[in-house]
Chains A and B, each alone.
Chain A
Amino acid sequence: MTTSAEQAWSHPSPTLWRLRQTELALITFVIALVVGLIFGATLGTVASIVSVLVAVLTGALSSWFVRNRFRAWRYQERHEDLIVARGVMVRRLSVVPYGRMQFVEVTAGPMERIFKLSTVKLHTAAAASDARIPGLELEESARLRDRLTELGESKAAGM
C-alpha cells in the first residue's frame, strides 16, 4: 500500500475471552452433567466419575484452542480497505475495500449482551467476503459501524 499509513492491528476486546471462557464452562458443565448422569445410571459410579473427568478435561483442552482462536482474530482499518484476519488451523485474511461495502451489520447475542459486546460484520455483494469482527466493546462497534458507513458512502463503487 502506498497511500495507506501502516498501523498496528486492532484486536477484539479482552472481554471476549472471558465470554468464550464462560460459554465453554457452561457447555462443559452441561455435558459433564449429562454424561455423568447417563453413565451413573447405566454403568455405575466409577464410569460416571471417569466420564465426568473426561468431559472436564476436554473442556480444558478446548479452552486452549478457543484462546488461540481469540488471539488470532485481528483487524486493521486502512485508507481504502478493511483487513480482517482470523483462524488458527485455517488462517484467513480478508481485504474488503470500503467502496464495496453493501451494509454493516451489528449483532449482539444474549451472551454478548451480558458482557456488553457486539459483532460487526461487513457485507459485500460476494457471499464469500468474510469480514466479521466479534467481541467489540459497544463504543468501539458503534465507532466502527459509523466509520465504515461513512467510508462506504464516500467510496461507493456499485456493482
Chain B
Amino acid sequence: VRADLDREGGWQRLHPLSPLTRIGRLVPVVALSFVLAFAHDHGQEGPLYYPIGVTVASVVFGFIHWMVTRWKIEGDTLRIETGLIRRDSKRLPLARIQAVDVVRPLLARMLGVSELRIRLAGSGSADGRLAYLSEATALELRQRLLQKRGPTAPQAVESLAWRGSVAAGAGGGSTVAVDSTIGSGPEHVMASVPTGRLVGSFALSGVTLVVIGIAVGLLVLAIVAPKTAAAVVGFLAVYLFSFISGIWRRLSNEFRFEAVEAPEGVRVRRGLLQTVSETIPYGRIQAVRKIEPLFWRPLGWCRLEVDIAGSGRKNQRGEGSGVARKALLPVGSAQDAWHLVDRLIGATLPIMTPPPHRARKKAPLSYHFLSAGHDNDHAVCVTGRVRKVTTWVPLEKTQSIRKVQGPVQRRLGLATVHVDAAGRTTRAELRDRTEAEADQLIEELSDLARAAREHRARPLAERSSNVGAPIPSGWYPDPSGRHEQRYWREGQWTQQVSDKGHTAVDVL
C-alpha cells in the first residue's frame, strides 16, 4: 500500500466521520442559537429550528469539505488540496516542518479520530491542517513527517508498516491513547504535572491574590454599606466570569500535562476535554525560558516555555498549533526544569555574572536578578523584576547580535547585548554589561555563533557534551535549584552543596 503514496494517484481522503466530528466546533454556536431561539419564542413552538438548522448546515458543509479535501505525501512534500469553489492547494516541504500537533477535541476522542496540525517556519497561512484522520493514520503520518524532516536519511521510515487505508475507516474503534504504542519507538517521561500542583499554581498566581483582596474588600464593604456592596458586586460579576473562564481554560489546557522524550523530539501531552499532543523536534527550538513567579519561589516551582519559529497568532493561544510559544512545563520543580532544558538544548549552566554595581542606578528594580553568561553553545540571561526569567538562546539559532546603549547607560559606561533568535520577541538580553565587556561579547558571540552554525550537522548528543574550554573548579549556582551553590570540580558537579554559608552533601 505504501508504494501508492508516492505514485501520482496516491491521494488520501480524510476520515469519513470528519463531517460529524466538525459539529463539535459548533457547540458554542448551537448553544447560543438555543438560547436565542428560546428567548425569541418563549419556549412555545419551533425553538429548535435554529439549532437544527445550524447543525444540518454544518454537517452539509463538513461533508462538502470532506468530499473536496485530499492529501498525499509526494517525495519530500506533503500536499493538501481543499476547497470547492476556491481551490486551495498546499505543499508543505517536510524539511521546513517546525512542529506537528495531534489535537483531539472531545467529540473526536469519542469517535476515535484526531486532527493533525503541521506548522512550518514563516507565515501562519502556510500551516497545514488535516481534520480529521483516524488515530492510527494521524500518528503514523506524524512520525513520517518528523522523520523525513531535515537532511537525515529516512531509513527508519522504510521499516514502517504504512497504513494507507484511511477511507476504509481503519482504527475507528481505538479510542485509547495509542501515542506510545504505534511505531514511534521508546518514550520516556521527562516531567509530568500532578493535578494538585497545577491547581496550587493557579492559587498562587498574582491574579488570584488580587481576586482574594477584592473579595475581602467587598466583605468589609458589605458590613459597612450593604447597598453599595451589592452594586459593586454586580459591576464586578463580568470580571469574575472572565477570571473563572480563564482559570478553566488553563486547567483544561494543562490538565494531565506530560513532557515525554520521543525519538523525533520532545512530545507534550495535555488536555482535559480536548487533548493535544505536540511534538517539537530537537534542534527546532529557538529559545527556552524558565519563569519563576514571586509566589512560586518559596516552593521552588517554575514554568518552562520554548519558542519555535512560526507565526504566533494570539487568538489561538493554548490550542496547539499557531502558537509560537509553547509551555513545556506549566509548573514544575527546578529539577524537572533543569532536566528538560538539559535534554532539549544540551544546556550547561555557564558562569553567570551580574552586571557591575553601578548598573543598580539604571535598573534599580531589576538589578537583583540581572545576570548573564554564555558558553560555546548558548547565551543565557536572567532578567525580571518580580518574576525571575532565565532565557537560553542556542547560539546556532542566532539571527543577529546587537549592542544597544541608551543615554543613561552611556553615562554609566554600560551597554546591553541582544542575541536575537527567529521571532518577534525571541531573544536573550544580556543587560547592562560594561562597555568593554559588551564589545568583547559582540565579537565573541558572533564568532561562536558562526562556529555553532557550521557544526549544526553534528548530532545533539555529541554537541552537548562538547562544552569546550573547561570551567575552573569552584562554587557555582546549583543547577538542580535545590541549593544555593554546588561545587564544580574537574568538569563535573560534585555532591557538595552550600546554603547561606553552610555546606552539606546532596547527590545531584
Contact = CB atoms under 8 A, between A and B. Distances in A.
A96 B401 CA distance: 7
B508 interface: no
Nearest to B449: A97
A128 B400 contact: yes
A131 B98 CA distance: 26
Given A80-B450, A126-B427, A95 B442 contact: yes
A126 B400 contact: yes
Given A126-B420, A159-B284, A90 B407 contact: yes
Given A1-B443, A126-B422, A94 B405 contact: no
Contacts of A93: 402-404, 442
Given A129-B420, A159-B284, A95 B406 contact: no
A124 B399 contact: yes
Contacts of B397: 159
Nearest to B426: A126
A130 interface: yes
A18 interface: no
Residue from A1, A94, A99, A130 whose CB has the most chain B CB atoms within 10 Å: A94
Given A96-B400, A129-B399, A157-B456, A91 B309 contact: no
Contact of B405 (A91, A125, A157): A91
Interface string A73-116: 00000001100000001111111110110000000000000000
Contacts, number: 89
A92 B453 contact: no
B506 to A, nearest CB: 40
Contact of A159 (B121, B420, B449, B450): B121
B404 A129 contact: no
B418 interface: yes
Nearest to A96: B400
Contact of A99 (B121, B403, B425, B453): B453
A128 B420 CA distance: 7
A100 B401 CA distance: 11
A8 B96 CA distance: 39
B330 interface: no
Most buried by B among A93, A126, A130: A126
B423 interface: yes
Interface in B476-492: none
Interface string B222-258: 0000000000000000000000000000000000000
B421 interface: yes
A129 B422 CA distance: 9
B406 A125 contact: no
Contacts of B407: 89-90
A31 B86 CA distance: 51
A5 interface: no
B152 to A, nearest CB: 14
A124 B453 contact: no
A131 B418 CA distance: 14
Contact of B402 (A89, A125, A130, A157): A130
A94 B403 CA distance: 6
Contacts of B404: 90-93
B453 A125 contact: no
Interface in B402-453: 402-407, 410, 415, 418, 420-427, 442-443, 446-447, 449-450, 453
B453 to A, nearest CB: 5
Contact of A89 (B398, B403, B406, B447): B406
A127 interface: yes
A131 B400 contact: yes
B309 A125 contact: yes
A2 B421 CA distance: 24
B399 A100 contact: yes
A126 B423 contact: yes
A100 B424 CA distance: 15
A1 B447 contact: yes
Contacts of B400: 94-97, 100, 124, 126, 128-131
Interface string B93-133: 00010100000000000000000000001000000000000
A128 to B, nearest CB: 5
A95 B64 CA distance: 52
Interface string A1-14: 11000000000000
B309 A128 contact: no
B434 to A, nearest CB: 15
Contacts of A92: 402-405
A94 B402 contact: yes
Contact of A128 (B406, B415, B427): B427
A90 B405 contact: yes
Contacts of A125: 121, 309, 399, 422-423
Interface in A139-159: 157, 159
B421 A126 contact: yes
Nearest to B396: A157
Given A97-B446, A97-B449, A159-B284, A127 B424 contact: yes
30 contacts: A89-B407, A90-B404, A90-B406, A91-B403, A91-B404, A91-B405, A92-B403, A92-B404, A93-B442, A94-B402, A95-B442, A97-B398, A97-B400, A97-B450, A99-B453, A100-B400, A124-B400, A125-B309, A125-B422, A126-B400, A126-B423, A128-B402, A128-B425, A128-B427, A129-B420, A157-B453, A159-B96, A159-B121, A159-B284, A159-B397
Interface of A: 1-2, 80-81, 89-97, 99-100, 124-131, 157, 159
Given A95-B446, A124-B400, A127-B425, 16 more contacts: A90-B404, A91-B415, A92-B405, A93-B442, A94-B400, A95-B400, A96-B399, A99-B453, A124-B420, A126-B399, A127-B423, A128-B402, A128-B424, A128-B427, A157-B456, A159-B284
Interface of B: 96, 98, 121, 284, 309, 397-407, 410, 415, 418, 420-427, 442-443, 446-447, 449-450, 453, 456
| Among all A-B residue pairs, the 8 with the closest Cβ atoms | A125-B422, A126-B399, A129-B400, A126-B420, A124-B399, A93-B403, A91-B405, A96-B400
